[in-house]
Structure 1
Amino acid sequence: MQPVTLYGAPHSLYTGKTRAYLRKQGIPYVERAADSRFRAEIVPKIGRGIIPVVELPDGTIVQDTVDILDHFERAGARISAYPPGPRQRVLAHVAELYAVVGLTRHAMHYRWSHADRQDRFLQDAFTAGSGADQAAKVMARMQSYLPMLGVTPATVPAIEASYLELLDLLEAHFAQHPYLFGGAPSLGDYGLLGPLFAHLGRDPVPADLMKRRAPKVYRWVERMNAPDPDIPEFGDYAATYLAGDAIPETLEPVYRHMASELFPELADKLAMLCRFVADADPQEGAPVTEKPHRRIIGSVATAFRGIAFESGVQPYVLYLWQRVTDAFEQLEPPSAAATREWLDNAGLAPLLDLHRPIRVERNQHLEVWGRKL
C-alpha cells in the first residue's frame, strides 16, 4: 500500500486527531510540514491555508478531520471508529462536538494564557519549518482568538476549575476502561484526543498538570497514539467495543459535564444563527462566509458557567451538531427511545430538540449552506 501524505504539525490539535487515526488503522503515511509545495499546490486546491490535509497516492485531497476519518471509514477501516451500538454511536458524535465547542477553549487557554511559562517550547514548535518571523505572526494570530473562544480574565478561573473537574471524571473512567466505549477507540476518542494531546497533553504546563493529577488520562493519550490497542494493564479486556450497546456508568458524569458546558452556549449561537438565516436568506450551496479563511458569521452574547462573554459563531459547529442528530434520526424506534432517555438524563436532550433553521454541508473542502429546515 502506498503511503498517504499528511500535511500537519506536531503541535497542531487536529493533526493529532488525524495522525492517531492513521496509526490505529495501520494506514501508511508520511507527515510533512506546511512547506513550499503545500503553499504552492495544496492551498489553491482547498481554498485556504489550513491543516491537517491528507493527500492520497492518486493526488486526491481530503481536508478536515471529519472528512478525513470518514473517507477512510468508507474505504474499510481495520477497526471502525463508528461503534456498532446505537447509543454508543450517538454519544461518540456528542464527544466529537464537545471537543470543538468545549475543549478547544481549555486547550487554547492553557497554551496561550501560560505562554510565558512555556515560551521556549512554543517558540521551538511554531518556528520549525516556518522561520521566526512567520512563527511570530501565527502565534500572535492564535492568541488573538482567545476572547472569541471565551478566554478572558473573568472566565479563566472557571475554565481551570472546569478542566480539573473533567480530568477527575475522565480519570475515574479510564481507570476501568481503555477507551470511551470499551477496548476500541471511537470517533469520540479521536475527537477528544485533539485538544487533550496536542495542547493539554503535550505543552509543558498542562502536560505536567495532567501527569500529576490524572495519570490514567495521560496514559489514554499515550494509548491513543499507539498503533495497537496498547492495553496491557487491562489484562484480558477485549480490544472491542462493549457488547450490547453498553454505556459504562463512569461515562454518565463525563457527559453531564459536557452538557453543562455545551449549553447555554449552543442555544445562544443557534438563536443568532436563526436571526442570520432570517435576515440573509442564504442560498443552498453558497459558501457560509464571503472569504474561505473566515470561519465565523458574527458573534453573540453567551456565558460559560454563568460568566458572560462574547463568542464567535462558526457554522462549522452546526456541521458537527447535525452529525449527532443525523445519527439519531437513523435509529430504529426502540434504539431511538433508549438513546433519547440516556441523553435526557445527562442533560443533552436539547441537542435533539432545539430547532436548527438550516443545514451546513461541505463542498470542495469548504463549508456551504445546505437546505433550510
Structure 2
Amino acid sequence: MASQDNTHRLYGVPHSLYTGIARCYLRTQGIAYTEIPTTDADFHTRILPIIQRSIIPVLETPQGDIVQDSLDIIDHFEQQGVRYSAYPGGLLQRVLSVIIAYYGTQAMLPHAMHYRWSYREAQEGFLHDQFAAGAGDAMADKIMARMNAYLPQLGVDAHTAPEIEASYLQLLDTLNAHFAEHPYLFGGRPSLGDYGLIGPLFAHLGRDPVPANLMKTRAPKVFRWVERMTAPGLDTPEFPGYGDAYLADDGIPATLEPLLRQIADEIFPMLTDKLAFMDALIQEHAPEDGQPVSAKPHQRYVGVVETAFRGVPVQAGVQPYLLYVLRKADALLAEGSPHDQARVREALAEWGLTAALPGERGYTVDRRDHIEVWKRT
C-alpha cells in the first residue's frame, strides 16, 4: 500500500530494542515517519503475511516496499544517500563500527534482558504499562512472561548475573569518560556502532526504572548521549565548534580503546564457540543455498552451546543472525586496499578483536524474503 505522502511507516513499540535503533536513525536523518504499534490492523492483515513472523521493526516506504530489521533499514537509506552517513570514511572506523554494533545488538542482549526481567518486581508497574500500550492490556502479561523466559537462552542465570552487572558498570564508566570528550563514538556524528549501542542503552537500560536510574546517577554523560541519539538531527550543544564529521585520518580516540578491550574480553569465547557450532551444523546437514536457517521462520535459535562469559561457564543459544551482522565487517574490510587491510588487522590484533571477523567459512547467513537463510560461498 503506497503512502499518499512522503511519510514512512515504522511498525514498532517504544520499549523494543531494535525499534529504537531504526527510530534513532530516522530522527537523526530527518526522515519523515509515523510509528505504528503492532496492534494496528494493517500490521496483522498486510505486514505479517509478507514478513512471515511476528517481529519488529518493520519499515514500509511511501512506495509500499517492506524492509525488516533495524540494520537493513539503515542500509536501505544509506544506499539512497543521507546527510549523516552511519559508515565512517576510514576503513578501521567502519570495521570497528560493525563490531561495536554486534556488541550492542547481540552481546548486550543479556545485559538488557537481565536488568529488565531480573528486576521485574521493582519495575512491574512501568513494564506492564509499556507492554500494554504496545499490545493491549489483555496480552501484556502473556508477552512479558514469554520475554522473561528468554533469559536462559541468553545465558542469564544466578552465576552470570554478577558478571553481567559488573560488565554494565564497566561499560557505563568507559562510555561516560568517552562522551565527556566526544559527542559520538567516532566523532561528530553517529556511526553504525552508535546505533548498535543505542538499542539496549535506550529501550531497556535507558528507560526501565532500575537500570535508567543507575545510568543517570553513575554515568550522566551516557544518559546525555542517549538523549542526543534520540533527538532530531545532531544534538551537540556541549561541543561548540566540534563539527559533524568523523575523526580525521581514520583516528581512534584513546577514550574508545577501553571499550574495544572490554568488547574483546566479553564476546570471546562465546562468539568463537557459536561460530564453531554453526560450522559443525553446516558440516553435518549440508543445507542448500537459500535454505532457511531454522525449520520455522519465528525460530531464531538453532541450538545451545557450552561456553563462558567473563570466565563464568554458561549455556547460550546460537542465533545465525550474528553471522549476518558480522559479515558486514568482512565485506567492508574487503573493500580496502591491501595496505589498509593489513593496517586494520594489525589494529584489531592489538585490541584482541581479530576473531571478531568470521572470515571465509564456506557459508554465511543471508536474508531473502525477510527470512534468514544459509548462503553457500
- Matches of 1:356 and 1:195 in 2, distance apart? 30
* Cα drift, residue 192 of structure 1: 0.5
Query: How far 1:370 sits from its partner (Å)?
Result: 0.5
Counterpart for residue 192 of structure 1? 197
> Which amino acid is 1:344 matched to?
A
Aligned match for 1:210, one of 215, 224, 232: 215
Provide the C-alpha distance between the structure 1 equivalents of 2:330 and 2:199, rounded to a whole number of angstroms.
22
Q: Which residue of 2 aligns with 1:106?
A: 111
Q: Please say if residues 24 and 227 of structure 1, whose CA atoms lie closer than 8 Å, have aligned partners that are also in contact.
A: yes
Partner amino acid for 2:15?
Answer: H
- Distance in 2, matches of 1:125 and 1:86, equals 40
Are 2:353 and 1:348 equivalent residues in the alignment? Answer: yes
Q: Which residue pairs with 1:364 in the alignment? A: 369
Q: Retained in 2: the 8 A contact 1:325–1:351?
A: no
Q: How far apart, in 2, do the equivalents of 1:127 and 1:39 lie? A: 17
Secondary structure of the equivalent of 1:93? helix
Contact 2:326 2:357 in 1 (8 A): no
Percent identity of the aligned residues? 55
What TM-score do you get using the length of structure 2 for normalisation? Answer: 0.97
Q: Which residue of 1 aligns with 2:36?
A: 32
Is structure 2 residue 14 aligned with structure 1 residue 3?
A: no
Preserved contact between residue 330 and residue 359 of structure 2 (Cα < 8 Å): no
Do the aligned partners of 2:327 and 2:358 also contact (CA within 8 Å) in 1?
Answer: no
Cα shift at 1:133: 2.8
One-letter code aligned to 1:110: Y
Alignment of 1:225-240 (within 5 A): 225-240=230-245
Q: CA deviation at 1:356?
A: 3.1
> Given that residues 365 and 375 in structure 2 are in contact (C-alpha distance below 8 angstroms), is that contact kept between their aligned partners in structure 1?
yes
Task: Verify: 1:80 aligned to 2:85, yes or no.
Answer: yes
CA contact (8 A) 2:14 2:20 kept: yes
Matched residue type, 2:48:
V
Unaligned runs of 5+ residues in structure 1 are: none
AA partner of residue 147 (structure 2): M
Q: Distance between the aligned counterparts of 2:319 and 2:269, measured in 1?
A: 16
1:277–1:357 Cα contact (<8 Å) kept? no
Q: Which amino acid in structure 2 is aligned with residue 356 of structure 1?
A: R
Give the letter aligned to residue 167 of structure 2: S
Residue 372 of structure 2 aligns to which amino acid in structure 1? Answer: E
- Distance in 2, matches of 1:107 and 1:362, equals 25
Task: Report the alpha carbon displacement of residue 270 of structure 1 after superposing the two structures with TM.
Answer: 1.1
Shift in Å, 1:237: 0.7
Distance apart, 1:129 and its partner CA: 4.2
Distance 2:224 2:146 in 1: 32
Cα deviation 1:149-201 (Å, max 9, x = unaligned) = 01101110010001100111111111100000000101110110000000000
Offset of residue 355 of structure 1: 5.5
The 5 Å alignment of 1:156-167 reads: 156-167=161-172
Other-structure match for 2:326: 321
Give the aligned CA root-mean-square deviation in angstroms: 1.1
The answer for the alignment partner of 2:312 in structure 1 is 307
Deviates more, 1:40-49 or 1:127-136: 127-136
Equivalent residue, structure 1, for 2:336: 331
State the Cα deviation string for residues 300-319 of structure 1 (Å, max 9, x = none): 10111111111111110011
Per the alignment, residue 15 of structure 1 pairs with: 19
For 2:82 and 2:20, the matched residues in 1 are separated by 18
CA contact (8 A) 2:292 2:374 kept: yes
- Aligned partner of 1:152: which letter? D
Residues 191-227 of structure 1 deviation map (CA, whole Å, 9 limit, x = unaligned): 1000000000011100000000000000000000111
| SS of residue matched to 1:128 | helix
Given candidates 179, 184, 188, the residue that maps to 1:179 is: 184
Given that 2:56 and 2:68 are in contact with CA atoms closer than 8 Å, whether structure 1 keeps it comes out as yes
Deviation at 1:84, TM superposition (A): 0.7
Listed as ranges, the matches of 1:60-71 within 5 Å are 60-71=65-76
| 1:149 matched residue in structure 2 | 154
Tell me how far 1:362 sits from its aligned partner: 0.5
The 1:98–1:371 alpha-carbon spacing in structure 2 relative to 1, beyond 3 Å, is same
Unpaired runs of 5+ residues, structure 2, are: none
Runs of 4+ in 1 over 6 A off after TM superposition: none
1:241 aligns to what SS in structure 2? coil
State the distance in 2 between where 1:358 and 1:136 align.
Answer: 40
Helix, strand or coil at the partner of 1:82 = coil
Q: Shift of residue 36 of structure 1?
A: 2.1
CA contact (8 A) 1:274 1:357 kept: no
Q: Secondary structure at the match of 1:118?
A: helix
CA shift for structure 1 position 353: 6.6
Residue 228 (structure 1) shift: 2.1
Structure 1 position 236, deviation (Å) = 1.1
Contact 1:90 1:327 in 2 (8 A): yes
